[in-house]
Chain A
Amino acid sequence: MNVLIVGVGGQGTLLASRVLGQYAILRGQDCKLSEVHGMSQRGGSVVTHVRIGDKIHSPVIWEGGADVVLAFEALEALRVKHYLKSDGALLVNDEEILPMPCITGAAVYPENIKDTLKAAVKRTHFIKAQEMALAAGSEKATNVVMLGALCKILSFDYALMREAVVKSVPPKFMELNVKAFDIGFNAVNL
C-alpha cells in the first residue's frame, strides 16, 4: 500500500503519515515513511511518502506507484497526479491556497481543478475537510478528517485506524480527533 500525502508546509501532513505508520505497526506490517524537512517547509509544496507491506525497500514512492494520493490542497493534488497507479484513488481536501507566483500574478492558479482531476482519475473524492474539522472542534484536526475518509476509501480496518489516531495525538485532543476521524469516515460514499 503506497500512500502519497501532499500539501502546503504547515498543513499537518506529517501527523497524517505518523498515524498511517502507527496503523502499520498495529497490523504487524513493515512500514517506511519519507519526508523532506528544511527549506521546503516554508510554505512550499510538501510531499510525504508512506509505504506499508510485508517487506518494504524503497522509502520513496515512484511515478505511477501510488495506490492513493491524500492531498490537503487542490493544486498539490494536480501536481502529483502522475504518481497514481492507473487504478489509484485520489482524496482531496477541497481547499485552494495560492502559491506566491499566483499571488504576484506571475502565474495563474488553474481553474476547474476538480473537473480536471475527476476526468483523469475515476476514484476521485473531494471533501471539505477543513469545515468538517471546525465542526469537530478545531481546524487543526483537518488531517484527521482526511484520515477518516481515507480509511473508508481504502477499506482499512476502522477500529485499528481509530486506535492509530488515538495513539498518535496528545491525550487532551483525543476526543476531538476521534470525532474528526468519524466525521471524515462518514463523509465519503463509495
Chain B
Amino acid sequence: MKDLMLTNKAIARGAYEAGVAVLSAYPGTPSTEIAENFAKLDGVYAEWAPNDKVAVEVALGAAVAGARSMACMKHVGLNVAADPLFTAAYTGVNAGFVLVVADDPGMHSSQNEQDSRYYAKSAHVPMLEPANAAEAKEFVKLAYELSEQFDVPVFLRETTRVAHSHGLVELEERIEKPLKNYVKDASKYVMMPANAIRRHVTVEARDNALQEYVNTMPINRAEYTNENELGIVCSGAVYEYVKEALPNANVFKIGTIHPIPVSAICEFSKHVKELYVVEELEPFVEDTLKANGIACKGKELFGLQGELSVRKIAEKFGVMAGAVVEPEKVPARPPVMCAGCPHRGVFYVLNKLKLTVNGDIGCYTLGAVPPLSSVDTCVCMGASVGMAHGFKKATKGESRNVAVIGDSTFLHSGVTGLINAVYNRSGITLIILDNSTTGMTGHQQHPATGKDLQGNPAPVVLLDELCKACGVKDLHIVDAYDVKAVEKAVKEATASEEVSVIIAQRACALLDKTKQPVVTVENCKNCGVCMRLGCPAIRKGANGIEIDPLQCRGCNVCVQVCPFGSIKKA
C-alpha cells in the first residue's frame, strides 16, 4: 500500500529510512514541514535552531561526529547559512550530511526569486533535484550515499511546487546507521590557511571525480520517444510539466543539477534534432551546456520570471489544444492580518504618529498593505534593526523611524542589529511584536516560547533580559491590545536619545481557538476611523459599520479607536 504523501514529509521519511539521527532547521516556507514530520518519527533527534546558519553548523557537527544529519531551509535561509556551508565543502563530512534547500519561483511566500543552484556550483557541493514525492524520498537516500562516498555535504533542492505537492510514496524500513568513528584530524577539520590550502586541492579533485561520476548515475537519464526530433533537457517540477505538455518529445531528465552530467547530455544532443533547456529562474543549465559547446536554446523562449506551467510550455512549442480563455478581471484577495491579530493596534499607533517603519519578515509584513500601509521597508530577516540604525545615522538622528520585528525573527538575526545599535549609539526604537510563536510559517516554537520542536517544555530565552544584556536601558513592556499603552510607550521611546526597546506582548490570535465574546456596534457615526485598522471582521453596512461575529476575536482594538464610543467592548 502506498501513502499519498506531501513531498516535504517524503523527504523526512527518506531521511528516516536513511538512518539520519540529527536534524536541525529554521522554519521557512516551503521547507517547514520537513522538520515537523521528521520530529514525529521514532528514535531520531530534531530541533528548531534559532537560524539557518546554526542549523547547518549543528548538522555539520553531527556529521563530523559520525551521525548522518540533515539541515533544512528556504532559499533565503541559505544566504544566512552560506558561511559554514562554503567551508564545510572543504572539511568534508565523515557521516553523510544533506542540506535541503527550497526555492520559491513565483514568490508564493518569499521576498525574492533567487536561484539556489548557483550555491551548489560556487560552494563545490553536489546538488540533487527530485521531481515528485516518491523521487524525493529516493533522492534523499542517494544523497547520503553520495555524501559519504565523496566525503562532501550534498544539497537536495526542491521548489514550491515539488515541496507542497503530494504523490504516492512506498514506505520502506529504516536502516540504522551506527555512529561512525570520529578521528581527530586537524588538517581536515581545522580550516586555517595552511590546512585549507591543501584541502582546496582535495575539493578540486573531488569536483573532477564527481563531474565524471554523475554521467553514470541512473537518475540522469535520456528518455527517447522519437529520435532525431525535439529534445528537451529539464529537471524537478519542470520535468513533470514537460512530460505532460510534450508527450512526444525526447527528454533528458537531470537528477544531479550540480554537477550537470555534461557528457551524457552531449550524447543525448546527438540523437535529437533541436535541443531546448526548459528551466525556471536563471539559465543555470543552459549556460553550462553552452559553455561546454553544446548548442541549445532556452531562456529566449521562457524568460527568467516566475513559474513555468504545462500551458506555458505547450504554448511555446505550439501544441496547446483549445482556445485561451482570458481570466476575469476581479478584485484581488490579498492575504490580510487576521481578526484579533495583535500587530494591528501597533501599526495603527505608528500610522497615527506618522512614523517611518523599518519592517521585517513575518505576518507583520502585512502591515505594508492597505489600509494600514504602515511599513516602509522590508528586506530580509533582521534587516529592520540594521536599517533603522542606518536611517538614524544618515539623518544624524533626525529621522522619525522605528524598527518592527517579530519575536522569532528577532532571535534569528535581529539581536545582532540591536547590539550594533547600542554599541554605535544610534538611539533607535525597536518594537518587538512578541506573539509567542513563529506565525507566518504556521506556528513553530522558538527559543523564547518555552517549548521545543516536539512541544515539550524547554528553557526560555527571556526577550527583556536579553535586550538588557545587550545594553538596552530604555525598555517598555506593553500589552499589544492596549492601544493607549502602546502609544505612550512609542512616544516615550522615540523621544529618548538612547536605544529603546518596546516589547508588545500578546499571543497570536490563531493560537487560542476558544470562542471569545465579540464587540457590538451602537449608533455608528460612519466616521471610518475603525476601517483604517483593516480588520476582516469589520465591514461597511448600510447604516454604519457591521461586525462579523464569526470572525471577531474580541480584541477590543476597534473599541479603543472609535472616537464616538459606538463600538462596545466584548
A59: which of B132, B324, B366 is its contact (CB, 8 Å)? B132
Q: Assuming the A-B contacts A59-B240, A60-B161, A63-B324, are A102 and B531 also in contact, with contact meaning beta carbons closer than 8 angstroms in the complex?
A: no
Question: Which residue, B108, B327, B333, has most C-beta atoms of chain A within 10 A?
Answer: B333
Seed contacts A18-B4, A32-B165; 13 additional CB < 8 Å A-B pairs: A9-B335, A25-B2, A25-B4, A39-B108, A44-B334, A58-B309, A75-B333, A98-B539, A100-B336, A100-B370, A103-B538, A107-B332, A109-B331
Given contacts A63-B324, A64-B325, contact A57 B241 (CB under 8 A): yes
Residue of B nearest to A61 (CB): B310
Residues of B bordering A, CB below 8 Å: 1-2, 4, 29-30, 32-33, 108-109, 132, 160-162, 164-168, 237, 240-241, 243-244, 309-311, 314, 320, 322-328, 330-338, 363, 366, 369-371, 440-442, 531, 534, 536, 538-540
Cβ of A137 within 8 Å of any chain B Cβ, yes or no, is no
Interchain residue pairs with CB less than 8 A apart (29): A25-B1, A25-B2, A31-B168, A33-B165, A34-B161, A34-B166, A37-B32, A38-B108, A39-B440, A42-B336, A43-B333, A44-B333, A44-B336, A57-B243, A58-B243, A59-B161, A59-B167, A60-B241, A60-B309, A62-B309, A75-B330, A79-B327, A80-B327, A99-B334, A100-B334, A100-B336, A103-B538, A105-B540, A107-B332
The answer for the CA separation of A118 and B557 in the assembled complex, in Å, is: 42
Instruction: Determine the chain B residues whose CB is within 8 A of the CB of A57 once the complex forms.
Output: 240-241, 243-244
Q: Mask for A45-87, Cβ within 8 A of B = 1, else 0?
A: 1000000000001111011110000000001101111101110
Binding site secondary structure of chain A: mixed
Residues of B within 8 A of A18 (CB): 4
Closest CB in chain A relative to B237 CB, distance in Å: 7
Contact B531 A39 (CB under 8 A): no
Chain A, interface size category, equals 35 or more
Contact partners of A41 in chain B: CB under 8 A: 335, 442
Q: Which residue on chain A has the smallest CB distance to residue B241?
A: A58
Say yes or no for A110: interface residue by CB 8 A criterion: yes
Q: Contacts A57-B240, A60-B309, A79-B328 given: A38-B333 contact, CB under 8 Å? A: no
Closest to A8 in B: B333
Q: Most B CB atoms within 10 A — which of A43, A99, A109?
A: A43
A interface residues with partner B (beta carbon < 8 Å): 8-9, 18, 21-22, 24-25, 30-45, 57-60, 62-65, 75-76, 78-82, 84-86, 98-110
With a cutoff of 8 Å between Cβ atoms, the chain B residues found around residue A85 in the complex are: 322
Mostly helix, strand, loop or mixed at chain B's interface? loop
- Measured CA separation A8–B331 after assembly (Å): 13
A-chain residues with CB within 8 Å of residue B330 when the two chains form the complex = 75, 78-79, 110
On whether A21 and B4 interact (CB within 8 A), knowing A32-B165, A100-B370, the answer reads yes
Within 8 Å CB of B132, what residues of A? 32, 59
- Report the minimum CB–CB distance from A112 to chain B (whole Å): 13
Are the CB atoms of A64 and B534 closer together than 8 Å?
no
Determine if A39 and B309 form an interchain contact, defined as CB atoms under 8 angstroms apart.
Answer: no
Interfacial chain B residues near A102, Cβ < 8 Å: 331
Residue of B nearest to A42 (CB): B335
Instruction: Decide if A81 touches B165 in the complex (CB within 8 Å).
Output: no
CA distance A44 to B166 in the complex (A): 22
CA distance A43 to B168 in the complex (A): 30
Contact B167 A38 (CB under 8 A): no
Q: Which of A31, A82, A101, A106 contacts B4 (CB 8 A)?
A: A31
Give bound CA distance, A63 to B322, whole Å: 10
Check A21/B2 contact, CB under 8 A, given A39-B29, A42-B335, A78-B330.
Answer: no
B534 touches A82 (CB 8 A): no
Most A CB within 10 A of own CB, among B310, B531, B539 = B310
Determine if B4 and A99 form an interchain contact, defined as CB atoms under 8 angstroms apart: no
Do A32 and B167 touch (CB < 8 A)?
yes
Q: Give, as a whole number of angstroms, the nearest-CB distance from B375 to chain A.
A: 14
Partner of B164, one of A22, A35, A82, A98: A35
A92 to chain B, nearest CB (A): 14
Chain B positions within 8 Å of A62 at CB level? 309-311, 314
